[in-house]
Amino acid sequence: MPPCLPALTGISPAALATWLQEAGHPAFRASQILDWIWKKKVGSFDAMTNLPAALRANLAENFRLNPLAHTHTQGAADTTRKFLFRLHDGRYVESVLIPANPALYGESSDRHTLCVSSQVGCAYGCKFCASGLAGFARNLDASEIAGQVLAAERLSGDRVDNLVFMGMGEPLANLDNLLAAIALITGPATLHLGARHLTVSTAGLVPQIRRLAEHPQQLRLAISLHGASDEVRDKIMPINRKWPLAVLLDALDHWITLKKQKLTLEYILIAGINDTQQQAALLAGHARRLRAKVNLIPYNTVDGLEWQRPTETHCRAFLQTLERAGVTATLRFEKGHDIDAACGQLRLKQETAEGLVSAAL
């Protein structure tokens, strides 16, 4: 495969200004180009009508404008939309646009959260997750991460108000590209979304949690905990064998000393695995220690995996145990359940159909 031109959605304002200077174009063109890309969200260089034709031709010779090609949208009854994107090397990633919860924002709210992928596949092998079923292919670069936001806004016509990096992949395993993308997403000359509206989710990569804690922006952090003891977490999250709960909790203690934003503990409830009252009591203890809120999510069925979601009554009993212990907790039944909204399912079906991954998975 021939080398691929870099995408403009991955170029920082400073790097673009440097390129313009070296190519013999005036520096003020940088702000015009950035405005076309990030504010007007144009789909071609020809649409940048206030740029000289020679500059547009020069840009087209040196850059791609779109790092992602939209191939499919799945819509759910609750207006959740899943977008499938093809990358330059033929692999696929997904993003999920989720409407606001009326209980939090009111029936008339038009807030939208975008769940963004950071890798093609995942190497961490959580036993309940579709993202890792076909293994890990590669990291996404900054243009491919930030480009999902632009593409989702262009396709939907909606402004993305919140981003969660908990789509396909482990964001902290791709930390350098993630931080480069965040700089573009939050930059005043680019997308300009406030850092407090960005949540990074991790299965528990301890060194990277400590490094991200030192990052100056007030990003939010969500921990995919899914087990309140090492015995349970070891069964479903192989990463726990490398960084067990005691080590993870120590890193999170460090995080909360440096960040103002409240931690979130994500906990997928899986019938007969992690949904006992004993696990609820242990989870409450961890949440109190970290002054964290807990987000309970009944398991979203994945083709090819044996896990089942508990009954709604069982889930609510688990929630009540947390609340009685003084923990702030929510029970969120997955949006988009009718469109295979669990991260990685649509991509897995597409890549299996094209023979990019084994049909046996």
Look over the chain and give the mean of its residue pLDDT values, rounded to a whole number: 89
How many domains, in total, are found in the chain? 2
- Domain assignment present for residue 3? The answer is no
**How many Cα atoms sit within 13 Å of 37 on the Cβ side?**
32
Q: What is the pLDDT of residues 172-223, one digit of tens each?
A: 999 999 999 999 999 999 999 999 999 999 999 999 999 999 999 999 999 9
Same-domain check for residues 289 and 330 = yes
Structure tokens at 354: 């094209």
The most distant pair of C-alpha atoms in the chain lies apart, rounded to whole Å, by 68
Same-domain check for residues 78 and 16 = no
Q: Please tell me whether residue 25 adopts helix, strand or coil conformation.
A: coil
144: CB partners within 8 A, 6+ apart? 7, 10, 67, 68, 87, 93
Cα 359 from Cα 230, distance rounded (Å) = 33
Has this prediction a pTM greater than 0.85? yes
Structural domain of 50: 8-62
Whether the CB-CB separation of 148 and 166 falls below 8 Å is answered with no
Q: Give the closest residue to 335 by CA, choosing from 101, 85, 72, 83.
A: 101
Same-domain check for residues 145 and 259 = yes
Please identify every residue annotated as catalytic. Answer: 94, 343
Same-domain check for residues 146 and 18 = no
- Domain assignment present for residue 359? The answer is no
Q: Give the number of other Cβ atoms within 10 Å of residue 214's Cβ.
A: 9
Same-domain check for residues 100 and 164 = yes
In this structure, of 33-47, 174-188, 292-306, the range with the lowest mean pLDDT score is: 292-306
- Domain assignment present for residue 1? The answer is no
The pLDDT > 90 percentage for the chain reads 77
Q: What is the pLDDT of residues 151-180, one digit of tens each?
A: 999 999 999 999 999 889 999 999 999 999
Same-domain check for residues 206 and 314 = yes
Same-domain check for residues 194 and 259 = yes
Same-domain check for residues 43 and 142 = no
